Amino acid sequence: MGRNVLVGITGGIAIYKVCDLVRDIRREGYNVRVVMTPFAERFVGRITFETLTGHRVLTDWDVDPLAHINLARWADLFLIAPCTVNTLSKVALGIGDNLLTTTVLAYDGPLILAPAANTVMWRSAPVQENLKKLKDRGVIVVEPEWGVLACEEEGEGKLAGKERILDWIHYALTPKRLKGKRVLITCGATREYLDPIRFISNESSGEMGFSLARVMRWEGADVKVIAGFTTAEEPPEVEVIRVRTSEEMRNEVMKALEGVDIIVMNAAVSDFRPKKREDRKIKRRGDLILELERTGDIIGEVGKRKGNRFLVGFALETEDLEKNARRKLKEKNLDMIIANPHDVMGSRHHRGVLLTREGAEEFSFPSKLESAKFLVDRIVRAISS
């Protein structure tokens, strides 16, 4: 990746969380440098961040009289975390009274602030006014979360989790090739109930669909996810509608079709459901003969109504992978289909074949997020051609 991320650290108790954040930013493949306010050093010494980044940490101009200019020119992205309300207000008002805030004035790239504060301070009128100024200016503010604060009060003010902050870094540095596009994604497993307790389902984790949602949001799309049961972590800043059964998923999909440009049907929808659902728990009384009926064909119904929408499907097969997937591509009126061997379900590794009417392309990646980047790139190319 090789992009440069400058991390500004201010003097707040949440600074201890930024040690892990800086380490993880570097693990994501970014080059990282740190600039601290003088007061921040009273919480964590600069040697900690020098060890984590491999670069000298600056707090003033002693080493380089043009440090604010050189740091600003080096950075592809400037993140301030934790950002105290003092620094937030200085940035909003254009005050440069230390190396960090002066570097902000010299910097003209994407700027992310991740504030942390006492709840009353965060909600105060001056801070909220300055917050609005920053947002109106295009600054990304990763707003604090609700929790128990260092002052033992409970409320909004806790530094956002590192996964949210990392997600915004990816967002800020990703070209917006899907800006203005509305995307609908289904993912996860549906459950078809025999009684109030037992159900028929599968091992889908939802990780592929959630990864696609992340990457499409980074590309600038307005993303909505309709999810069945999942074990993967939900993508930050994405609307997720939860369903249980295939019928609930079908109803939500049909409601969400209006105005959508791209539809990705990744959910592992049960093909069969019990013909009769018992209202009470089925007791253990000898053998149980279960009669099943087919569930509705959601993707087939969407294919008939897709119009100019770009429709992507998935096929999980135990045999004749490409043959079965190509049949589904044609029968369901899809623009693209991703054919996967059955062992990718519930696995972190992802491999398969991407098929369109023009041809096929094999792929294999160590994670579903990397696979999602590849698939989104192919979708972007297809809708742009």
Instruction: Report in angstroms the alpha-carbon separations of 247 from 30, 192, 280, 348.
Output: 44, 9, 21, 28
Is 151 considered catalytic here? yes
Alpha-carbon span 250 to 295, nearest angstrom: 10
* Helices and strands: H and E segment counts in the chain: 13, 19
Copy the structure tokens of residue 157. 């003010």
Whole-angstrom Cα distance, residue 126 to residue 11? 20
Catalytic residue among 19, 83, 151, 187: 151
User: What DSSP letter does each residue of 106-156 carry, written as one string?
Assistant: H--S-EEEEE---HHHHHSHHHHHHHHHHHHTT-EE---EEEE-TTS-EEE
Q: Which residues contact 61 (CB under 8 A, 6 or more apart)?
A: 67, 68, 99
- Report the DSSP beta bridge partners of residue 316: 340
Between CA 232 and CA 141 the distance in angstroms is 25
Residues composing the chain: 385
Buried b (16+ CB within 10 A) or exposed e, 198-217: ebbbbebbbbbbbbbbbbbb
Token pair of 293 as six digits: 């009926």
Annotated catalytic residues are 151
